[in-house]
Amino acid sequence: MIYLQLFWSFFRIEFFTFGGGYAAIPLIKNVIVDENQWITLSDFTDLITISEMTPGPIAVNSATFVGMQIAGPLGAIVSTIGCVLPSILFVSILSYIFLKFGNLSIIQGILSGLRPAVVGLIAQAGFAILVMTVWGSDGITFNASSLNIWALILFLACFIVMRKFKPNPIYVMAGSGVLSLIIHQFA
Amino acid sequence: MKKDKRLYWKLFTSTFYLSAFTFGGGFVIVPLMKKKFVDNLKWIEDEEMLNLTAIAQSSPGAVAVNASILLGYKIAGILGSLCCILGTILPPFLILSVISIFYSAFKDNSTIQILLKGFQSGVAAVIADVVIQMGGDIIKHKSIMSILIMAFSFIATYFLNINVIYVLLASAVVGGLTFLYNIRCSTKKGNESEAQI
Condensed to tens digits (0 to 9), the pLDDT of residues A94-145 reads 888 888 877 777 888 888 888 899 999 999 999 999 999 998 877 777 777 7
- Test mutation, B73, B127, B149, B155, chain A, max A CBs within 10 A: B127
The reported pLDDT for the residue numbered A101 is: 79
- Per DSSP, B163 falls in state -
Taking the alpha carbons of B2, B8, B11, B13 in that order, is the dihedral positive or negative?
negative
pLDDT band at A80, cuts 50/70/90? very high
A 68-107 residues inside an 8 A Cβ radius of B: 68-69, 73, 76, 80, 83-84, 86-88, 90-91, 94-95, 98, 104-107
B136 touches chain A (CB under 8 A): no
pLDDT at B1: 47
Contacts of A39 in chain B (CB under 8 A): none
Q: Kindly write down the DSSP assignment for every residue of A78-145, as one continuous string.
A: HHHHHHHHHHHHHHHHHHHHHHHHS--HHHHHHHHHHHHHHHHHHHHHHHHHHHHHHH-TT---S-GG
User: Residue A72's pLDDT is what?
Assistant: 94
Q: What is the pLDDT at residue B186?
A: 79
Q: How far is B41 from chain A (nearest CA, A)?
A: 23
Q: Is A56 on the interface with B (CB under 8 A)?
A: yes
SS3 B160: coil
In this complex, is the C-beta atom of A40 within 8 Å of any C-beta atom belonging to chain B?
no
Going residue by residue through chain B, which has 197 residues, state the pLDDT in tens, using 9 for 90 and above: 456 789 999 999 999 999 998 876 667 788 888 889 999 989 998 888 888 888 888 889 998 999 999 999 999 999 999 999 999 999 999 999 999 999 988 888 888 889 999 999 999 999 999 999 989 989 998 888 899 999 999 999 999 999 999 999 999 999 889 888 888 887 776 666 555 54
What is the Cα A148 distance to its own chain's centre? 23
Rounded-to-integer distance, Cα A97 and Cα B58, Å: 12
DSSP state of A39: S
For the segment A74-103, the average pLDDT, to the nearest whole number, is 90
pLDDT in the model for residue A136: 82
Q: How far apart are CA B160 and CA B170, in angstroms?
A: 15
Q: Which chain B residues are within 8 Å of A177, Cβ to Cβ?
A: 115-116, 118-119, 122
Note whether B125 and A172 are within 8 A (CB): yes
Predicted ipTM beyond 0.90 = no
**What is each CA distance from B187 to A85, B180, B184, in whole angstroms?**
38, 11, 5
